Structure 1
């Protein structure tokens, strides 16, 4: 890996509605730049889907982002505030249309429930939660109900002067995500995309 490439973007936050593909994109960025991947869901969701307390979550995340380079994925500004964003140099917002997110999250969730694949800390997708209409129980309903609010929140953050030093990259399709990844490999000394 070319050292000049990784100097351009070293601390990246990947955000987006659940099911948009942000974890997959973050893993690909991590691999491409040879930097650690920090998945906030894996820290936050303790055994039996027990959420980590806000102070413990903040401490655990602060320890991990103290490094010089990383890619973090997750939407936990309600619990973390701007902790991660203050250390970041780039925010990549995976902003897929709601229909696309729903298609992806339904397929992903059904696949996980069928295989019983462990996600984090012994947690697995369960059929009864998947078909629940309660967004607090069903990741599918969570994605549906949070999509519009996420979009409004990230649009506002892009325009907020407090984040003027951050480079925002809004990715609206898988093709744009692939182009962004390709650009990471050839950006050398150029400035991050806006």
Structure 2
């Protein structure tokens, strides 16, 4: 495990696991959302492909994302390990609700200095709505990718419940 991609739906705990892995394994961690949103008003990084290409050319890295469409294949091509947090909606939705509520109330600064807002909750792009509406689509996409012969050299570690993920992490 030198080039690790942590995947799953919004709210699965990708960032938390990626940070813990980085700490335990001494592998540099890069947050995909911070690479993608690099300015105020959720500005998108126009150099995303170049930035991700440069990071993933390094011998060791951890990135927490299925990957935005522009860089998805690049990430999957260069990873040697995929850790799939494949949790059901009954696990995901309470997590993302708590996280978004906390972020909104505390006005926590996110990627590019952006913040979740109360009016943002009405948007289909809001993490809660995104997690709900994209859950099945994301699960199917990851499932297809881990079975795709193009990515056959990838080691895939698949977790269906957070308890399994925590036990595995504790065993490292």
Fold conserved between structures, TM > 0.5: yes
Structure 1 unpaired stretches of 5+: 1-8, 186-194
Matching of residue 59 in structure 1 with residue 50 in structure 2:
yes
2:152 corresponds to 1:168: no
Deviation at 1:180, TM superposition (A): 2.2
CA distance in 1, matches of 2:133, 2:70: 19
Pair member with larger Rg: 1
Summarize deviations over 1:5-58 as a string: whole Å, max 9, x none. Answer: xxxx111000111111110010011011011101110010122111223xx111
Aligned equivalents of 1:164, 1:155: Cα separation in 2:
13
Mapped to 2, the partners of 1:61 and 1:157 lie a distance apart of 19
What is the SS of the residue equivalent to 1:121? Answer: helix
TM-score (norm 1): 0.84
Say which of 63, 66, 72 aligns to 1:72: 63
SS in structure 2 at match of 1:78: coil
Q: Secondary structure at the match of 2:145?
A: helix
| Match of residue 135, structure 1, among 104, 116, 124 | 124
Distance 2:44 2:101 in 1: 23
Q: Could you tell me which of 17, 27, 47 is aligned with 1:35?
A: 27
2:53 is aligned with 1:50: no
Q: Which runs of 4+ in 1 moved over 4 A?
A: none
CA shift digits 1:52-106 (9 cap, x unpaired): 23xx111011111221111110122412131111111100011110121110000
Q: Structure 2: which 5+ residue stretches go unaligned?
A: none
Q: Out of 16, 38, 49, which is 2:8 matched to?
A: 16
Q: Is the 8 A contact 2:34 2:112 kept in 1?
A: yes
